[in-house]
Structure formats: structure tokens, C-alpha cells
Amino acid sequence: MGTVVWQLNDCWPVVSWAAVDGDGRCKPLWYALRAVYADRLLVVRDGALHLVNDADRPWEGTLRLARHDLDGTVLAEEELRVSTAPRQVTRLPLPPSVAEPADRTRELLVARMGEVRAVEFYEEDPRLALPPARYDVKITQGDGEASGYRVEVTARTLLRDVALFPDRLDPAAEVDEMLVTMLPGESAVFRVTGAVIEDPGALGARPVLRCVNDAIA
């Protein structure tokens, strides 16, 4: 088994499906690829949850499943004790209470086991009733370029695939994470390094801070 990445990088500036642009900067796809190559994954497909354990140790614990409204309200919950052997995948049919939503456009499924979490929507992005993005941002700066900037985003509404594009402020700036989905009240921290930014506050506003809500809400 294996995968082929096509394509990894662009040879020149262009709009494409590559994971790295012509100047060597990571696009959102690069972060998605890094995530799917993690040793342990929770994946929802075809009415089942798959526990992917590519580690050399068993993966055991309590699997928590919750069906939420887009406003964060918990509509149904399930807990299961599960175990997956090393280098194996365990398939678990979703319990009826979380398998089918009452409204596919306004609900989502959150699966969590230990530190591993997966967020799955019941519809494709263009059909989701995502609210306009609302959030609070706190930006702190370290001493010098090496320390960079800490951008803490707290969701006031559900935020789908939050991404930070600091290279729009300085081509040398890099961020450690992208494509983070947050329920209302949740927070995520993005760390920006590689450049001294003249206006750090711009890290928390468009067009630097974006999410799927901006495109379809």
C-alpha cells in the first residue's frame, strides 16, 4: 500500500492543485497532507468510523461521538470502548443516534479518542448553512524574529477550516498550522515565524485570517 502525491510543488507562480507554491511556501493542502499521514486517525466514511493505527503499539481507549447543531448544541452522544492493533484499521458502524442528522445542512459529527479528533459534516461545504464567521483574536509577539507571533483565535460561531496566510504580509512569514475547524467557544493557536511584521494586528483580519465560512456563508 502507498500513496502518490501529485503534485507536490509548482515550478513557477500559478494557480494549481500543488501543495507547495513556486516560491516554496506551503499551501493549505500541505497541512492537510501532513494531517492525513499522522500515525493515528479517526475517519468517517460510508456510515462507519474507521480507527487508523499506523503506530507500532495498540490504540485503546474510549471513543466519544457527538452530533452537534452548527451552534454547538449537542444533539446526541455515544461512548464506546475500542481497541485497534498496531498497523491495523478498525471499522465501527456509526450508532443510529449519530449516523443520520435531522438536518444535514445544519449538523456535524465530532469523534474524539484521547488527543485525536475528527470533525465530519453531513453535507458538502456549498450546501452547509454555515453562519458568517465571528471570532475573537489575541495576538502576542515574542522578542525578535525567531520568537514570532502567537495568534489565538476563539470562535464565536462555528468556523470551518480556519487558515492563516501570513505571507500576504511578508513573503518570508510561515505558520505552523492550518485548516482548523472550531465549534463555538473553542480556541486554537497559530504560531507565525520567519519575519518581522509591521502590523501584527493584520494577522487577525482578512485577507490573512480566512475560513470556509467566508466563501459560502
pLDDT in tens, 23-50: 999 999 999 999 999 999 999 999 999 9
Radius of gyration for the alpha carbons in the chain, expressed in angstroms and rounded = 19
User: What is the grid cell recorded at 116?
Assistant: 485525536
Distance CA 134, CA 154 (A): 9
What is the pLDDT at residue 185? 97
97 by DSSP, 3-state: which?
helix
Of the candidates 140, 139, 137, the residue with the CA atom closest to the CA atom of residue 155: 137
pTM score above 0.95: no
Q: How many residues belong to the chain?
A: 217
CA geometry: angle 42, 44, 48, nearest 5 deg: 110
pLDDT band at 143 (very low <50, low <70, confident <90, very high): low
Q: Would you give the DSSP letter of residue 148?
A: -
- Cβ proximity of 22 and 10 under 8 Å: yes
136 by DSSP, 3-state: which?
strand
- Cβ proximity of 214 and 133 under 8 Å: yes
Distance CA 44, CA 205 (A): 32
Q: Is residue 145 predicted with pLDDT exceeding 60? A: no
Of the candidates 123, 112, 127, 114, the residue with the CA atom closest to the CA atom of residue 183: 112
Q: Is residue 144 predicted with pLDDT exceeding 60? A: no
User: What is the grid cell recorded at 78?
Assistant: 455515544
pLDDT, tens only, 76-103: 999 999 999 999 999 999 999 999 999 9
